[in-house]
């Protein structure tokens, strides 16, 4: 957990986790408006007056993340009495994650739960009687994140992190050794050794960072998108998988205008099924956006379920579709729906595009078998359940910063810069890692040095 510096600009999702139609991301602090402006493509927010609303895009370099509405509040007329913004975006966890990430890169830091309230309190918005409530909130969060940490220890996460910690301590200690003990008769690490040591740490950390999307997926449900032509029965399948009426089902093509999603657990693994508007060229603009979004969902999904109506689809259609989906380089299942409405003998020769899984979403025929197939596909493909994964956003944030600092160290070694400057960058890395593992102190470094090297006259 980072220290509560009051001049930091903090950011967090203000609406409940999970999926709503829209989400609000709140940012507060001296630089809140500047930082938000940095990721916003629209009017110059810094030039706008307080309590105004602005439409525009949030982009990650060229890619549009979302179209958003941004509210601006200027100190002291905001909830926290600081400069603040609220970004209203679409409620997809992918979009929220991306926007938060961009805000962090632009200079904000993730708020701790209760921190907005704490700021509001410290800036005199509440009376002292509420102090206790705020304090309890912070304490509860700290305990909760501790529990998260303990839970993660069951996986390989803590082991990886602690070996990373050891590696970095060793690296930093070797640098400190040549600084503080240059007069000693000990063998100093040469630059090549240091580089090798650093590469190892970078590998570990890259692995951990990459596991974040997987980890996030496991925590929030593995995104599984259901696509197919209009009226293939996608919403019906969603309802069958969720065992409830979530999506509106009708015979009219294009009933589902936007993506609908919900979670269900299959044998302990959480899935987030996303129903999409049917894939077709459409002249209805609102629906067109829905189709566009379905394509985006496919990009973001871990698994694609392509559903087709056996009554209206030919094996050649499927062969074509298969080729197209294959190009996305993701695991997918081809599912033939409405098998209860046709005799097996009447089915055209689909063997050439096998495997196809036959179900009837309407009568839930073979849906539970499909669930098993879905589970196995995912486990086989991506999510080896013993794999080390990072699931906590704060850990992810810290790891990214550790990696950035380590890259600087690497540059420094190559340049080469003097060891006191190298030490500065490695300290930055250690400090960030400390937010996950607990602080790494000078005594840790000195302890390592004294245990490994014969120091002293």
Partner 1 sequence: MFNEYDVIVVGAGHAGNEAAAAAAKMGSKTLLITMNMQVIGQMSCNPAMGGVAKGQIIREIDALGGLSGIISDKSMIQFRMLNRSKGPAMWSPRCQNDRMQFAQEWRLALEEIENLDFWQDMVTNILVDNGRVGGVRTGMGLEIKAKAVILTSGTFLNGIIHIGDKNFRGGRSGEKAAFGITEQLIQLGFEAGRMKTGTPPRVDGRSLDYSQMEEQAGDENPGKFSFTNTPNLKEQRSCWVTYTNEEVHETLKRGFDKSPMFQGRIKGLGPRYCPSIEDKIDRFADRNRHQIFVEPEGWHTVEIYVNGFSTSLPDYIQYEALKKIKGFEKVKMFRPGYAIEYDYFPPTQLKLSLETKLVENLFFAGQINGTTGYEEAACQGLMAGINAHNKINEKESLILKRSEAYIGVLIDDLINKGTEEPYRMFTSRAEYRLLLRQDNADIRLTKIGYDIGLASKERLENVEVKANKVDKLINDLKQKKVKPDEINSYLDEVSSATIREKSSFYNLLKRPEISLPLLNDMNEDLGGYLNKYQKEEIEQAEILIKYQDYLDKERKNAEKMEELENLKIKQGFDYTTVKALSTEAREKLSKIKPETLGQANRISGVSPADISILMVYLGR
Contacts with partner 1, residue ranges (CB under 8 A): 1-7, 112, 115, 118, 121-124, 128, 131-132, 134-136, 138-139, 141-142, 176, 178-185, 415-421, 423-424, 427, 441-442, 445-446, 450, 454-457
Q: How far is the CB of 13 from partner 1 (least distance, A)?
A: 20
Q: How far is the CB of 399 from partner 1 (least distance, A)?
A: 18
Coil, strand or helix at 305: strand
Return the closest-CA partner of residue 79 out of 124, 129, 142.
Answer: 124
Q: Using the minimum distance from each CB to partner 1, give the nearer residue, 131 or 286.
A: 131
Q: Using the minimum distance from each CB to partner 1, give the nearer residue, 63 or 128.
A: 128
What are the CA-CA distances from residue 332 to residues 63, 224, 317, 354, 376 (Å)?
A: 25, 9, 16, 12, 12
Q: How far is the CB of 212 from partner 1 (least distance, A)?
A: 22
**Spatial separation of the C-alpha atoms in residues 233 and 236, rounded to whole Å:** 5
Helix (H), strand (E) at residue 79: none
Q: Using the minimum distance from each CB to partner 1, give the nearer residue, 251 or 443.
A: 443
Q: How far is the CB of 9 from partner 1 (least distance, A)?
A: 13
Q: Using the minimum distance from each CB to partner 1, give the nearer residue, 7 or 352.
A: 7
> Please, are residues 386 and 339 in contact by the beta-carbon 8 Å criterion?
no
Q: Using the minimum distance from each CB to partner 1, give the nearer residue, 297 or 408.
A: 408
Q: How far is the CB of 84 from partner 1 (least distance, A)?
A: 18
**Spatial separation of the C-alpha atoms in residues 67 and 150, rounded to whole Å:** 38
Q: Using the minimum distance from each CB to partner 1, give the nearer residue, 44 or 439.
A: 439
Q: How far is the CB of 148 from partner 1 (least distance, A)?
A: 14
Q: Using the minimum distance from each CB to partner 1, give the nearer residue, 56 or 113.
A: 113
CA-only gyration radius of the chain, Å: 26
What are the residues whose beta carbons fall under 8 Å from the beta carbon of 406, sequence distance 6 or more? 198, 201, 202, 205, 425, 426, 429
Structure tokens at 51: 């309590």
What are the CA-CA distances from residue 145 to residues 1, 118, 140, 163, 436 (Å)?
A: 9, 18, 9, 21, 10
Q: How far is the CB of 433 from partner 1 (least distance, A)?
A: 14
């Amino acid at each position: 957990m980072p220290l509560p510096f009051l001049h930091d600009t903090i950011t967090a999702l203000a609406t409940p986790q999970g999926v709503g139609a829209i989400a609000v991301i709140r940012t507060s602090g001296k630089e809140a408006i500047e930082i938000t402006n940095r990721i916003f493509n629209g009017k110059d927010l810094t030039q706008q007056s307080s309590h105004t609303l602005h439409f525009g895009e949030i982009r990650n370099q060229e890619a549009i993340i979302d179209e958003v509405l941004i509210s601006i509040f200027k100190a002291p007329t905001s909830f926290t009495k600081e400069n603040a913004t609220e970004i209203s975006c679409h409620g997809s966890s992918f979009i929220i994650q991306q926007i938060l990430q961009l805000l962090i890169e632009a200079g904000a830091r993730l708020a701790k739960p209760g921190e907005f309230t704490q700021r509001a309190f410290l800036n005199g918005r509440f009376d002292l009687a509420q102090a206790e409530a705020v304090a309890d909130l912070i304490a509860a969060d700290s305990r909760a994140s501790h529990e998260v940490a303990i839970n993660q220890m069951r996986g390989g996460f803590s082991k990886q992190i602690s070996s990373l910690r050891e590696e970095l301590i060793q690296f930093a200690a070797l640098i400190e050794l040549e600084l503080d003990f240059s007069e000693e008769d000990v063998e100093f690490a040469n630059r090549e050794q240091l580089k090798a040591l650093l590469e190892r740490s970078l590998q570990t950390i890259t692995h951990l960072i990459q596991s974040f999307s997987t980890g996030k997926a496991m925590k929030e449900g593995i995104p599984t998108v259901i696509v197919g032509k209009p009226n293939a029965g996608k919403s019906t399948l969603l309802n069958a998988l969720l065992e409830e009426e979530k999506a509106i089902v009708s015979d009219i093509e294009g009933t589902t205008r936007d993506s609908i999603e919900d979670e269900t657990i299959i044998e302990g693994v959480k899935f987030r099924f996303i129903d999409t508007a049917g894939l077709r060229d459409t002249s209805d603009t609102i629906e067109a956006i829905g189709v566009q979004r379905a394509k985006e969902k496919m990009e973001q999904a871990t698994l694609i379920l392509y559903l087709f109506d056996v009554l209206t689809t030919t094996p050649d259609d499927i062969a074509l579709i298969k080729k197209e989906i294959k190009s996305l380089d993701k695991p997918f299942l081809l599912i033939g729906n409405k098998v209860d409405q046709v005799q097996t003998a009447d089915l055209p020769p689909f063997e050439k595009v096998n495997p196809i899984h036959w179900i009837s979403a309407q009568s839930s025929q073979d849906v539970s078998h499909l669930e098993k197939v879905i589970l196995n596909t995912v486990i086989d493909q991506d999510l080896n359940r013993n794999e080390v994964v990072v699931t906590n956003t704060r850990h992810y944030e810290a790891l990214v910063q550790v990696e950035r600092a380590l890259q600087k160290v690497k540059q420094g070694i190559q340049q080469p810069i003097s060891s006191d400057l190298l030490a500065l960058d490695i300290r930055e890395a250690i400090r960030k890692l400390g937010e996950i593992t607990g602080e790494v102190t000078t005594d840790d470094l000195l302890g390592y040095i004294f245990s490994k090297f014969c120091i002293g006259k």
